[in-house]
């Protein structure tokens, strides 16, 4: 697959006269060839259609509601971002952010579940590693190519949504809204990159691509569909805040319950997305004490946070998502480097 491209890599020699591998270009050669294969495959078309439909369908049904509300606003700050948060009043369809949170991970798994084991089953992995590239260039190149394709798809989808919103609403986004939208796009790429690294890990550990796909999509269904239900039941047992005897206990148990729900990466991503798309949201966590609850109630209604203030609220969420992605990629990297590849 990528062996022919790797064979054409420039070869240099070190000070001893021995052949030295192209350290800086090996991963780029693999990534370039993988990127070309992804862009010309039917997989990207299918996933683009799935993600596009998952975002445009709720946007279409909610557009009338958004347009009617936007026409009554005296302060249009955040009106453009309402495209991604609003849902239809007549149809029980989630908003765009919820759909992206659930469906976008399919991009990561779809582009990585057969990246290594597919090469192994086709018999091209030993040939690829016999070329003048380092072994880690294969993992790095495949991950970079997958992340690049994901970025292309997400940018295209967000561009379509933004264009639809400008035409439908007639509201041109301000500089703060554009910055928030770009940061949300970066967080979404990080969110999908987590699943890309997880799919790469499955591809390294599981020999058969079909089994890797089954495990990957099974974990996705568990997290996206049943995860919040299961974690919610656990939180209600450990922290039953609704049946607390006093207000102090209810507030403390509610904060504990929200902390348990953050075990799911899906919750972390949704909270970060909501804060970015709602400038009027001044907190991301439930107050843990009565004093904090009083301070929250005393805040001026309609207050809008600046971009940097919202960024401070979601910074722990971004770090958590990046750490999870780094752990999955590091595990895939280490296991692949230790595996024996026979011709």
Domain of residue 27, residue span? 22-338
Asked, for residue 71, whether it belongs to a domain, the answer is yes
Candidates 211, 200, 109, 91; CA nearest to 150 is: 109
Distance CA 172, CA 168 (A): 11
Distance CA 33, CA 124 (A): 14
Asked, for residue 113, whether it belongs to a domain, the answer is yes
In tens digits, the chain (343 residues) has pLDDT values of 544 444 454 444 444 444 444 445 778 888 888 888 888 888 888 888 888 777 777 777 766 666 665 555 545 556 677 777 766 555 666 778 888 888 888 888 988 888 888 888 887 888 887 777 888 888 899 999 999 998 988 898 888 888 877 776 677 777 888 889 899 999 999 999 999 999 999 999 888 888 998 999 999 888 887 777 777 777 667 766 556 556 666 666 666 666 777 778 888 898 898 888 888 777 766 544 454 445 445 454 556 778 888 888 889 899 999 999 999 999 999 998 887 776 5
3-state secondary structure of 161: helix
Asked, for residue 274, whether it belongs to a domain, the answer is yes
Question: Per the structure, how many domains does the chain have?
Answer: 1
Distance CA 287, CA 254 (A): 8
pTM of the model: 0.80
Asked, for residue 322, whether it belongs to a domain, the answer is yes
Asked, for residue 8, whether it belongs to a domain, the answer is no
User: 20 has which bridge partners?
Assistant: 12
Asked, for residue 125, whether it belongs to a domain, the answer is yes
> DSSP characters for 74-131?
S--TTTGGGGGT---SSS----HHHHHHHHTHHHHHHTTTTTTHHHHHHT-HHHHHTS
Asked, for residue 16, whether it belongs to a domain, the answer is no
Asked, for residue 15, whether it belongs to a domain, the answer is no
């Amino acid at each position: 697959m990528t062996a022919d491209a790797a064979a054409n890599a420039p070869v240099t020699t070190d000070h001893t006269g021995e052949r030295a591998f192209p350290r800086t270009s090996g991963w780029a050669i693999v990534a370039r060839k993988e990127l070309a294969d992804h862009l010309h495959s039917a997989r990207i078309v299918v996933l683009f259609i799935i993600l596009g439909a998952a975002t445009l369908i709720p946007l279409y049904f909610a557009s009338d509601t958004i347009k009617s509300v936007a026409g009554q606003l005296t302060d249009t700050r955040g009106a453009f971002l309402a495209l991604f948060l609003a849902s239809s009043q007549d149809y029980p369809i989630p908003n765009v952010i919820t759909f992206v949170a659930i469906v976008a991970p399919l991009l990561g798994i779809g582009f990585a579940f057969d990246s290594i084991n597919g090469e192994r089953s086709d018999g091209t992995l030993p040939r690829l590693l016999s070329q003048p590239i380092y072994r880690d260039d294969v993992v790095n190149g495949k991950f970079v190519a997958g992340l690049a394709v994901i970025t292309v798809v997400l940018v295209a989808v967000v561009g379509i949504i933004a264009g639809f919103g400008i035409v439908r609403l007639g509201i041109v986004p301000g500089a703060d809204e554009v910055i928030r939208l770009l940061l949300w796009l970066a967080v979404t790429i990080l969110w999908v990159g987590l699943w890309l690294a997880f799919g790469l890990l499955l591809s390294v550990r599981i020999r058969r691509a079909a089994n890797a796909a089954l495990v990957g999509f099974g974990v996705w269904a568990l997290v996206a569909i049943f995860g919040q239900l299961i974690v919610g039941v656990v939180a209600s047992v450990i922290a039953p805040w609704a049946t607390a005897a006093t207000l102090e206990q209810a507030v403390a148990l509610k904060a504990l319950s929200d902390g348990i729900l953050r075990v799911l990466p899906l919750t972390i991503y949704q909270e970060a997305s909501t804060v970015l798309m709602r400038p009027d949201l001044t907190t991301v966590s439930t107050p843990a004490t009565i004093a904090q609850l009083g301070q929250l109630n005393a805040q001026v209604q309609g207050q809008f946070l600046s971009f940097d203030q919202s960024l401070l609220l979601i910074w722990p969420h971004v770090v958590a998502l990046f750490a999870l992605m780094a752990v999955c990629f590091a595990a895939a990297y280490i296991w692949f480097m230790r595996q024996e590849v026979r011709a």
